[in-house]
Amino acid sequence: MQLHLSPRNLKLTAAIHQYAAEKVLHLEDLAEEIMAAHVVLINDEAARAQKKFTVKAHLAVPGPDIHAQESGEDLYAALDKVTAKLARQLRKRHTALIDKKRQKKQRLKEAAKKRGA
């Protein structure tokens, strides 16, 4: 998986880079088909204290891409929240794909019964 980090109005330190990379790479455990991740880290000095840092994330996966955005007063907390949102979306996507396969198998099984009866 390719990982792109784009800082806006903040300096991308090694600690921030490592923390963001760990969080995003953890998502790969939930879905191995993630092709790329783009994370934008924004520091808005003019915003209220509760929304000083914003993290926007985009995951490129087969089918519709997955997006999430979260703001907070701490960059690390915003990263945690956005990765939790992405994880929830990946689990939901995985469940939907499994349900779709089950329904397809069930329809084929019922069609075979109708032909045989």
Question: β-strands 36-43, 2-8: how paired?
Answer: parallel
Q: Contact at 8 Å (CB) between 83 and 69?
A: no
Residue type, 44: D
Distance, in Å, from the CA atom of 93 to the CA atom of 55, rounded to the nearest integer, reads 22
Q: What is the pLDDT of residue 116?
A: 77
Q: What is the pLDDT of residue 117?
A: 65
Percent of the chain with pLDDT over 70: 99
pLDDT in tens, 56-99: 999 999 989 999 999 999 999 999 999 999 999 999 999 999 99
Q: What is the pLDDT of residue 41?
A: 96
| Closest to 18 (Cα-Cα) out of 43, 44, 39 | 39
Q: Give the model's confidence band at 54: pLDDT under 50 very low, under 70 low, under 90 confident, else very high.
A: very high
Taken as a whole, the chain contains a residue count of 117
Q: What is the pLDDT of residue 78?
A: 95
Q: Which of 45-59, 84-98, 103-117 has the highest mean pLDDT?
A: 84-98
| Closest to 92 (Cα-Cα) out of 117, 71, 116, 64 | 64
Q: What is the pLDDT of residue 40?
A: 97
Segments in 1-117 forming alpha helices (H): 14-27, 75-116
